[in-house]
Chains A and B, each alone.
Chain A
Amino acid sequence: MNFWTNPVNFVAQWLLGLLTGWGMPGWLASLLIQFIGVVVLVSMMMLIDIFLVWIERKVVARFQDRLGPNRVGPFGMIQPFADIIKLLIKEDITPDGADKLIYNLAPVLSLMSVLLLWAIVPLAPVIFGVDLNVGVLYIIAAGAIGTLSIILAAWASNNKFALVGAFRQVAVLVSFEVPMLATMLIPTVLAGSMGMNEIVQSQNVWYIVLAPLAGLIFMVAAIAELGRAPFDLNEAESEIVAGYHIEYTGMKFGLFYAGELLHAFTFGGFWAVLFLGGYRFFGLENLGPIVAAVILMAKALFGYWLIMWVRYTVMRIRIDHMLAFNWKFLTPLAFVLLMLTALMNALLRGTSSGVYILGMLLTNVILGWVIIEILRGLSRRERERIEGVATVKNFPSPHPLSQGERGKG
C-alpha cells in the first residue's frame, strides 16, 4: 500500500503507528483518527463552499451578461473571503419576540444537514466517509433535518413573511420528496443496493443511459428540494422579501446562504453518483483515487452548473401549478417508470448486455414519448374547449389573465 493507491488508509495507518507509538491505547487512537478524518472532510467541504460563492456569482453574471466579481484577486477569486469578513463583522440583530435558542440553532442545523450528506459521498473507491448500506435513504434522512431547520428558523424569528415562506418551502419539500424517493428507487433496483459505493461500482453503463427519464425527474425534484428557481417560492423576493431567513443578519444569514450553495453542489454530486457513474469516467478512475475524486468533483460541478442554468433561465412557477405539476404529473410518472424498470429489469436479466441496455433505454424513450403525446392531446382538448367558448358564445373569458388568454399564446 502506498500513498497513491490508497491515500486515506496510508495516512491513517501512519497516524495510528505514530499515536500508538506514543503510548496511546488503540481504540482511542483509532477514534482520534476517525475524528481527524471527519474534521478534514468537513473543512474541505467548507473550503469548497467558500469557492462555490465565487462560482455562483461568476456564473450568474455570465448568464446575465455581466462580469461578476473581478476586483479582489485574480478574476475576483478572493471576493468570497472578503464577503466572509464582512459577514463576520456585521452587527448581529436578534429581533424582538424571537425564541433565542431556536433562532440561533436553526442556521447551525441548516448547514449541518448539508454537511452530513458528505459522510456518504464516495469520492473514490477508497476515499469515502462511510459506506452505509442504506445510503439512499440517508440522503432523505439528512434532508429531514434541513426541512426542520427551515421551520425552526421561521417560527423562532417571529415574522409573518418568514412563516409564509417556510410553509411554502416545506409544502414544496415534502411534495417533491415523493418523486425524488421514487426515482432514487430506480438506481437501487438497477444496482441491487442502497450503498453509494456499490451503486457507483455497478454502473458499467451509466444509469443516465439506462434510465434517462429517472435522471431527469431526479434533477427536477432536486431543484425543487433546493428551493431554487423556478421553484423558489420560499423566498419569492417580490412577495415575501426573503422567506424563512428574513430576520437573519450577518453570519447567521451567511450560514443559510452557505448551506444553500453547498446543498446545490451536493445534489449535483448525488446526481453524478446515482446517474452519471460517480467517480467513474471510462477507466480514467483507475489511475488513482485522487484522479477519481477529481472526476467526481467535476461531475458534481457539472450538475451544479445545470441547476444554475435552470435557475437563471426559467421563471418562478405559481404554487398551485407547482404542486399540481408534482402530484398530477411527476409522482405518477415516477411510479410508472419505477414499475416498468423493475419489470424490464426482471425480464431482461438473462439477456446479453447489449439487449439489456437497448431494452431499458427503449422503455424510457417510449414512456417519454407516450407521456408527451398524452400531454399534447390534453392541451389540444383544453385549447379547443377554450377557443370554442370564446368564439361560439362570443364571450370574454371570466378572468382576462387566466387560462383563456394564456391558452392562445
Chain B
Amino acid sequence: MTFTQIIFLVTAAVILGSALMVVSTRNLVHAALWLIVTLFGVAVLYAILNASFLAVVQVVVYIGAIAILFIFAIMLTRREMRDRGPQLNRGWWLNIIIAGLTFGGLFWMLQGWSGFSKAAADFPSGYDAVGQLGKALVSPTGFVLPFEVASVLLLAALVGAVYVAFARK
C-alpha cells in the first residue's frame, strides 16, 4: 500500500464518518460543523488527485461561503438549537435497500473500469493546469457558452435572492 493510498483511506473514512455525524447529531450547529469537516475532506481528495484549483475552490466556496451561509441561516431561523423529533422517517429500511443497491451497482460497474485501479498521473513539469482551464473556458471550440451561461445563472441566483428577501418583508 502506498503512502497516497493510506492518506486516501483515512480521508475517505473521515468524510464518511463526518457525513454520518451531520445527519445523526441533534445539535444543528454541530451538524453544520461536521458538514464542514466533510467538505474539507472532499478538498483533500481533490488535492490527492492533483486538482489543485478544485481543491482550493472547494475550500473557498464551500467552507468560506456556503458553510458560513448555513451557519447564518441556522442562527437566524431556529431559536431551538436542538432537534427533538424522531431521527428516522417511516421508509428508512427502503432507503437503506435503495442506497445499498446503488452502491453495489456502482461498485460492480466501476470494477471493470481500468481507471479505477490507476493512481493519479503527475503533471509534466511546467504544465500550467490552471492556464489550460482558462483557455478551455473562453475558447470558442471549448466551453465559452457554459462559461457565459454560468454568469447568467449567477445573475438568476442573485435576482432570486432579491426576490426571496423581499417576499419576506
- Residues in chain A within 8 A of chain B (CB atoms): 27, 102, 132-134, 137-138, 140-141, 143-145, 147-148, 151-152, 155, 163, 167, 170, 174, 177, 192-194
Contact = CB atoms under 8 A, between A and B. Distances in A.
Contacts, number: 59
B63 A134 contact: no
A111 B68 CA distance: 19
Contact of A147 (B29, B33, B56, B68): B68
A144 B59 contact: yes
Contacts of B52: 132-134
Contacts of A163: 75
Interface of B: 3, 29, 33, 36, 52-53, 55-57, 59-60, 63-65, 67-68, 71-72, 75, 128-131
Contacts of B57: 137
Contact of B60 (A140, A148, A155): A140
A134 B68 contact: no
5 contacts: A133-B53, A141-B59, A141-B63, A144-B60, A170-B68
A167 B3 CA distance: 41
A141 B64 contact: yes
A151 B71 contact: yes
A84 B64 CA distance: 32
Given A145-B59, A148-B68, 5 more contacts: A141-B60, A143-B64, A144-B64, A147-B68, A155-B29
A148 B36 contact: yes
A131 to B, nearest CB: 11
Given A148-B36, A155-B29, A137 B68 contact: no
A328 to B, nearest CB: 15
Chain A contact surface mostly: helix
Contacts of B55: 134
Contact of A137 (B36, B60, B63, B129): B60
Interface centre among A27, A148, A152 (most CB of B within 10 A): A148
User: Which 5 interchain pairs have the tightest Cβ spacing?
Assistant: A144-B64, A141-B59, A137-B56, A134-B56, A144-B63
A148 B66 CA distance: 11
B130 A134 contact: yes
Nearest to A154: B75
Given A151-B68, A174-B68, A141 B56 contact: yes
A145 B55 CA distance: 14
A187 B59 CA distance: 22
B128 A174 contact: no
Contacts of B60: 137, 140-141, 144
Contacts of A148: 36, 63, 67-68
Given A27-B3, A148-B36, A138 B56 contact: yes
A145 B75 CA distance: 19
A288 B24 CA distance: 57
Nearest to B130: A133
B53 to A, nearest CB: 5
Contacts of B130: 133-134, 194
B64 A152 contact: no
A152 B33 contact: yes
Given A132-B52, A155-B29, A147 B129 contact: no
Contacts of A102: 33
Contacts of A170: 68, 72
Nearest to A140: B60
B55 to A, nearest CB: 8
Contacts of B33: 102, 152
